[in-house]
């Protein structure tokens, strides 16, 4: 493979400025929504004292999980020595930082009292998985920044593999921690599962690669940079494997629950009698986010179907997290096992929840923030190679 040449994007066109304008407007709308919820109170949202993690948390968890997975492209190059992915490593690491920044911004603003973030960063309860995640997220920023430095600075190129290995291990631990937030909540039957940690890891691979593909294709097309079929073919096959793996782990999770007698009611709720959550599971998560992308990825070689499959994976991922995060809270909490409970507090009743406009605006604002940071970084530093044409990468590169 020839020496890779990188170049910043010019960022002077009307299209680029329009893109930043739209992303900036969406980010400001998200900030406005957070301000409104902070000053008016959460009664303007769909959240209640039973549904305390709403739609913003769905977006936040999605972005955090995707941030870990999008770094997979760089890891394949640095850790596993696959030369074909080396020109994509810088963009992969950049997206890891920006997606995590967008996700944490939504998380901090949604939890309320963002000015007290310093308290959470200086006072720790090490019995809480939330406290551990503070270290995981801040450490991820530092390690990926070191990883990028080793790729940009020629004198540091010899340390790229070691930095990449550290980032690879750290992001696996980070995603395990994120999945364990739910897996350790033993009081919630839909959450209490050791399978959530590996499920979140493979979800991160799928969601992150789908976002990477769309950003890569858009960036190359809008800047007039060649993007060969060799790269896209490898990414297409990789995404197909990840999508199939997500479906496999989801199937294992539900089959495991069906094997356990006391979890039959939970499974009936999600798979059959859960209303919107059942519909989102079968139509959004399984069909749109799994089966349709697999058909598109392995049934056609066109770039449009590849992009459509990536969009389907992202939409299915949001549906999957909506079912997990919100559906897991909506399912009645089992306070006294093997006892029938009745009270005026809706015990045994599925909690109702309808997303509000401020919640959606805050979540979309976090996505817009991540993309805006990516667009600005591409203009400032050379993250994109000048060309990804087949002839320059080598037709037999792997």
**High-pLDDT (> 90) share of the chain, %:** 69
pLDDT at 395: 43
pLDDT at 207: 97
Measure Cα distances from 308 to 62, 137, 167, 213 in Å. Answer: 19, 31, 30, 11
Cβ 104 vs Cβ 60: under 8 Å: yes
pLDDT at 386: 92
Which positions ≥6 away from 369 have C-beta within 8 Å?
23, 27, 30, 101, 102, 105
pLDDT at 11: 84
List, for residues 236-266, the tens digit of each pLDDT value.
Answer: 999 999 999 999 999 999 999 999 888 898 9
pLDDT band at 393 (very low <50, low <70, confident <90, very high): low
List, for residues 311-353, the tens digit of each pLDDT value.
Answer: 999 999 999 999 999 999 999 877 666 677 676 676 678 889 9
**Which one, of 71, 229, 228, 206, lies nearest residue 151 by Cα?**
71
pLDDT band at 220 (very low <50, low <70, confident <90, very high): very high
pLDDT at 94: 97
Cβ 47 vs Cβ 353: under 8 Å: yes
pLDDT band at 301 (very low <50, low <70, confident <90, very high): confident
Burial 329-340 (b: 16+ CB within 10 A, else e): bbbbebeeeeee
pLDDT at 119: 76
Cβ 109 vs Cβ 34: under 8 Å: yes
List, for residues 93-111, the tens digit of each pLDDT value.
Answer: 999 999 999 999 999 898 7
Q: What average pLDDT does the segment 58-84 reach?
A: 94
pTM, whole model, 2 decimals?
A: 0.93
Burial label, 47 (beta-carbon count in 10 A; 0-12, 13-18, 19+) = buried
**Which one, of 24, 60, 20, lies nearest residue 362 by Cα?**
60
Q: What mean pLDDT, rounded, does the chain reach? A: 90
The span from the CA of 232 to the CA of 85, in Å, is 11
The span from the CA of 119 to the CA of 131, in Å, is 11
pLDDT at 8: 92
The hierarchical CATH code for the domain 18-332+366-381 is 1.20.1630.10
pLDDT at 130: 76
Task: Output Rg (C-alpha) for the chain, integer angstroms.
Answer: 22
- 334 versus 31: the higher-pLDDT residue is 31
Give the E-state strand segments of 155-303 in sequence order: none
pLDDT at 165: 95
List, for residues 195-214, the tens digit of each pLDDT value.
Answer: 899 999 999 999 999 999 99
Residue 286 reports pLDDT greater than 90:
yes
pLDDT at 150: 94
């Amino acid at each position: 493979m020839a020496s890779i040449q990188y170049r910043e994007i010019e960022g002077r066109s009307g299209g680029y400025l329009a893109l930043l304008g739209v992303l900036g407007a969406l980010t400001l709308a998200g900030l406005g929504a957070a301000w409104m919820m902070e000053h008016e109170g959460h009664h303007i949202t769909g959240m209640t004292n039973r549904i305390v993690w709403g739609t913003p948390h769905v977006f936040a968890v999605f972005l955090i999980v995707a941030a870990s997975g999008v770094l997979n492209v760089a890891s394949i190059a640095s850790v596993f020595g696959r030369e074909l992915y080396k020109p994509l490593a810088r963009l992969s690491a950049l997206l890891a930082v920006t997606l995590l920044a967008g996700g944490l911004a939504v998380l901090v603003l949604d939890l309320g009292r963002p000015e007290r973030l310093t308290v959470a960063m200086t006072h720790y309860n090490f019995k809480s998985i939330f406290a551990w995640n503070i270290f995981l997220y801040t450490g991820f920023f530092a390690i990926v920044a070191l990883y990028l430095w080793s790729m940009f600075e020629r004198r540091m190129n010899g340390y790229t593999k070691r930095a990449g290995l550290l980032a690879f291990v750290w992001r696996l631990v980070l995603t395990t921690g994120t999945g364990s937030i739910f897996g350790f909540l033993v009081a919630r039957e839909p959450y209490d599962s050791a399978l959530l940690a590996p499920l979140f890891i493979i979800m991160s691979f799928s969601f992150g690669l789908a976002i990477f593909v769309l950003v890569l294709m858009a960036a190359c097309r809008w800047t007039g940079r060649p993007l060969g079929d060799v790269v896209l073919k490898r990414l297409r096959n990789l995404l197909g494997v990840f999508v199939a793996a997500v479906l496999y782990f989801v199937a294992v999770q539900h089959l495991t629950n069906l094997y356990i007698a006391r979890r039959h009611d939970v499974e009936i709720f999600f798979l059959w009698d859960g209303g919107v959550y059942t519909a989102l599971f079968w139509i959004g998560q399984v069909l749109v986010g799994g089966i349709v992308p697999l058909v598109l990825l392995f049934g056609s070689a066109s770039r449009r179907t590849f992009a459509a499959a990536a969009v389907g994976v992202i939409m299915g991922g949001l549906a999957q997290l909506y079912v997990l995060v919100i559906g897991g809270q909506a399912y009645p909490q089992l306070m006294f096992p093997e006892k029938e409970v009745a009270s005026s507090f809706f015990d045994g009743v599925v909690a109702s929840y309808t997303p509000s406009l401020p919640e959606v605006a805050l979540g979309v604002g976090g996505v817009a923030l991540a993309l805006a940071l990516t667009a600005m970084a591409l203009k400032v530093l050379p993250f994109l190679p000048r060309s990804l044409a087949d002839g320059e990468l080598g037709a037999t590169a792997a």
